[in-house]
Amino acid sequence: MSDYKLKYQEWLEDPYVSDEDKEELRSIAGDEKEIEDRFYKDLEFGTGGLRGIIGIGTNRINIYTIRKATQGLANYINKKGGAGRGVSIAYDSRRFSEKFAREAASVLNGNGIRTYLFSTLTATPELSFAVRQTGSIAGIVITASHNPPEYNGYKVYWEDGAQVTPPHDTEIIEEVKRVESLADIKLMPEMEARVNDLFHIIGYEMDDKYIAAMRRVSLDDGAIERVSDDFRIVYTPFNGTGNIPVRRILSELGFKHVYVVKEQENPDPDFTTLEYPNPEDPKAFTLALKLAKEKNADLVLATDPDADRLGIYAFDPKTNDYVPFTGNMSAMIIAEYLLSVRKEKGLLHEKGSEAETESGLTGMLISTIVSTNMARAIANAYGIEYMEVLTGFKYIGEQIKLFEQRKNYFYEFGFEESYGCLAGVHARDKDAPIAVMLLCEAAAYYKDKGITLVDQMENIYKKYGYYKEEQKSVTMKGADGARQITALMEELRKKPPTGFGDYEVLKIRDYKCNKVYAPGSDETGLTGLPSSNVLYFELSDDAWVCARPSGTEPKIKFYIGVKGESREDAADRLEALKAELMKSVGQG
């Protein structure tokens, strides 16, 4: 009998698995493909935690995989002597999110670890904020972010408020792997945990602190008040956690006309009006754009279910239509606004400035290796430093911690191309509510000067160059898909391309092997970043290509970037490069 069939049978006979859950397993008897997909492996506890399809099985997310992951985390926390400091826990609007959050608390309490559970669904960045506010040694968020409704997930944060990074991530993974039997998991009922001072609820006072921290980042000097009567915003929280914090911060800053998409306002784990609750997906904006046209809105905003990503459309009166902004574009709008206004106010830590002299710190803009190269140009123009880190906002959060410890840089702004950014250091993860705040503040600032965000984006292109980027994902589901993704990355390593159409490969960065080399050369350098299964190709004409298997979804992602002489030229270059890339990996 194959391994997956043995595991399937073990779960059917395990007294730890409930009768109701066994009934779900019996319902797939005879469906070999479904049984294999559910049991061919354990749902991997990766460097950020768990994410998977909800259901019963070792390769599904359920109370058993949640308990196992939490038992491993509890063992690690107790080894570090952190039981008394506790763990903060938040959850979003997805199926079983609150149940999974309470299961995690039960396991931690069963291991003598104090927990702080939010009283209601909460945005991921507020959990990041709360970890340091409560003095917790760790944090957990139950969310699948922007994935389809059949998914849920489990993200782990450390004491600095960022998702776990080395060495904590790999050491926690090892502890999770050591939990061999479900029967080894310790649980404590909530009432008993309350009596023993182990279970605590985080109330609305944390919301007040979080909002106050965001407001301290604001640079508004009256522009909002001057344009508020004629400034309209349409917003959708995609049936998730952003609804309250986003509307509250906009109201407190003085935005008078904020219209919410009613069908997507309240929690809905089925995302009934959304095929895919992702602000990167144009189809997800259908209802918001309809409302925007009715209200003559200046901006259309959408946050994903756990409110760490922001997508936008801006009205262009020249075409009488709404223009979509990529994550890179909206981040560059915010970055240019923040840096320029801070410079005007003498707050920018540029080299040789009064702010740098007084603090002894130079400003730093941080991005990821797959984000726009325009960020470097902006940092150079404002006389601050620029740093690239691996994909994943946890690496940006880690740098903020290191800056504070080493007292060497002042964090100005950080972003990644996947619609996430952070200004301020109140949180250590991407933060959609503060992105909304600053984007709307920037829009008001430019409207006060007589221009739209579309106009300002063109100004930025003219100033720095017409950079354009795109991500192309190829989905390969199940066990066969995982094997195909592995084989594709191996082939790219063994026989790396020397070019893509008209673009020559100048250098290859292999982050898994920690080396940088030119094709055909024996000379190698180091990437300087942690090991990650990523290949980056530096191309001629300031273009680039990157291949990275997703850590949370059954797909491989290809990132592409070019620099053109105009919008049209950049678009043409991008399409040509994308076609050549897809052809070279057998997807053309």
366-388 pLDDT per residue, tens: 999 999 999 999 999 999 999 99
DSSP state of 20: H
Q: In whole angstroms, give the CA distance from residue 117 to residue 194.
A: 12
**pLDDT tens-digit map of 14-71:** 999 999 999 999 999 999 999 999 999 989 887 678 999 999 999 999 999 999 999 9
Per the CB < 8 A criterion, the answer to whether 263 and 284 are in contact is no
Positive or negative torsion for Cα 217, 221, 222, 227: negative
Q: How confident is the model at residue 478 (pLDDT cuts 50, 70, 90)?
A: confident
**pLDDT at residue 2 is higher than 80:** no
- So what's the pLDDT on residue 474? 87
Tokens of 5: 């069939």
pLDDT of residue 588: 64
Kindly list the strands in the beta sheet with 420-422, ordered across the sheet, starting from the edge strand earlier in the chain. Answer: 385-389, 362-368, 409-416, 420-422
pLDDT value of residue 46: 76
**What percentage of the chain's residues is helix, strand, coil (to nearest 5)?**
40, 20, 35
Q: How far apart are the first and last CA of the chain?
A: 39
Interatomic CA distance for residues 208 and 307, integer angstroms? 17
For residue 322, what pLDDT is reported?
A: 98
Eight-state DSSP code of residue 308: -
What whole-number distance in Å separates Cα of residue 300 and Cα of residue 285? 8
Q: For residue 65, what are the CA distances in angstroms to 123, 196, 281?
A: 23, 26, 30
- φ, ψ at 121 (rounded to 5°): -60, 145
Quote the distance between the C-alpha of residue 480 and its chain's center. 27
Length of the chain: 588
Task: Give the pLDDT of residue 1.
Answer: 58
307: left (phi over 0), alpha (psi -120 to 50) or beta: left
Same domain, 573 and 496: yes
Decide: helix, strand or coil at residue 195. Answer: helix
CATH code where residue 491 lies: 3.30.310.50
Q: Are residues 140 and 212 in the same domain?
A: no
Q: Are both 423 and 274 inside the same structural domain?
A: yes
Q: Which of 297, 329, 294 lies closest to 310, judged by CA?
A: 329
- The span from the CA of 438 to the CA of 246, in Å, is 11
Can you state the angle between helices 124-134 and 432-448, rounded to 10 degrees? 110
Query: Mean pLDDT over all residues of the chain?
Result: 95
| Same-domain pairing of 471 and 572 | yes
Give CA 519 to chain center in angstroms: 33
Q: What is the pLDDT of residue 521?
A: 85
Range of the domain at 335: 206-463
Domain of 89, CATH number, reads: 3.40.120.10
Q: How confident is the model at residue 287 (pLDDT cuts 50, 70, 90)?
A: very high
Q: 307 - beta bridge partners? A: none
Are both 281 and 420 inside the same structural domain?
Answer: yes
384 and 516 share a domain?
Answer: no
**Domain count within the chain:** 4
pLDDT of 552 higher than 70: no
CA 499, 503, 507 angle in degrees (round to 5)? 60
- Same domain assignment for residues 515 and 484: yes
Give the DSSP letter string of 39-89.
Answer: HSSPPP-BTTEEEEEBSSSTTSBSHHHHHHHHHHHHHHHHHTT-TTT-EEE
Q: Kindly report whether the global pTM for this prediction surpasses the value 0.85.
A: yes
Alpha-carbon distance of 334 to 442, in angstroms, equals: 7
At 357, is the pLDDT very low, low, confident or very high (cuts 50, 70, 90)? very high
Task: Using the 3D structure, point to which of 411, 445, 463 is the last residue of a domain.
Answer: 463
Statement to judge: residues 458 and 490 lie in one domain: no
Tell whether the torsion through CA atoms of 434, 436, 440 and 443 is positive or negative: positive
* Cα–Cα distance for residue pair 451/463, rounded to 1 Å: 16
Final residue before a domain boundary, out of 463, 486, 502: 463
Which helix or strand (DSSP H or E) is residue 532 part of? none
Q: Quick one: 106 and 190 in the same domain?
A: yes
Q: How confident is the model at residue 114 (pLDDT cuts 50, 70, 90)?
A: very high
Same domain, 49 and 135: yes
368 shares its domain with 495: no
Q: Residue 53 carries which side chain, given as an amino acid letter?
A: I
Q: Let me know if 28 is exposed, middle or buried by CB neighbors in 10 A (0-12, 13-18, 19+).
A: middle
Residue 585 predicted with pLDDT over 90:
no
CA atoms within 13 A on the CB side of 551: 14
Q: Is 145 left (phi over 0), alpha (psi -120 to 50) or beta?
A: left
What is the CA angle 187-142-170, rounded to 5?
80
Closest CA to 329 of 397, 277, 375, 393: 375
How far is the C-alpha of 559 from the C-alpha of 536, rounded, in Å? 9
What is the distance between the alpha carbons of residues 87 and 112, in angstroms, rounded to a whole number?
A: 11
CA dist., res. 467 & res. 373, Å (int)? 7
Strands 409-416 and 362-368: parallel
Domain identity same for 415 and 270: yes
What string of H, E and C letters represents the secondary structure of 105-166?
A: HHHHHHCCCCEEEECCCCCHHHHHHHHHHHCCCEEEEECCCCCCCCEEEEEEEECCCCECCC
Closest by CA position to 543, among listed 573, 586, 511: 573
Q: Which residues pair with 351 in a beta bridge?
A: none
Instruction: Report whether pLDDT(147) > 80.
Output: yes
- The set of catalytic residues is 145
Q: What are phi and psi for residue 434, nearest 5 degrees?
A: -75, -30
Q: What is the pLDDT of residue 49?
A: 86
**Arithmetic mean of pLDDT, 481-494:** 89
pLDDT band at 480 (very low <50, low <70, confident <90, very high): confident
Task: Give the pLDDT score at 483.
Answer: 86
Q: Which of 68, 75, 53 is nearest to 17 (CA)?
A: 68
- The rounded distance, in Å, linking the Cα atoms of 375 and 365 is 8
Q: Which of 157, 173, 203 is the last residue of a domain?
A: 203
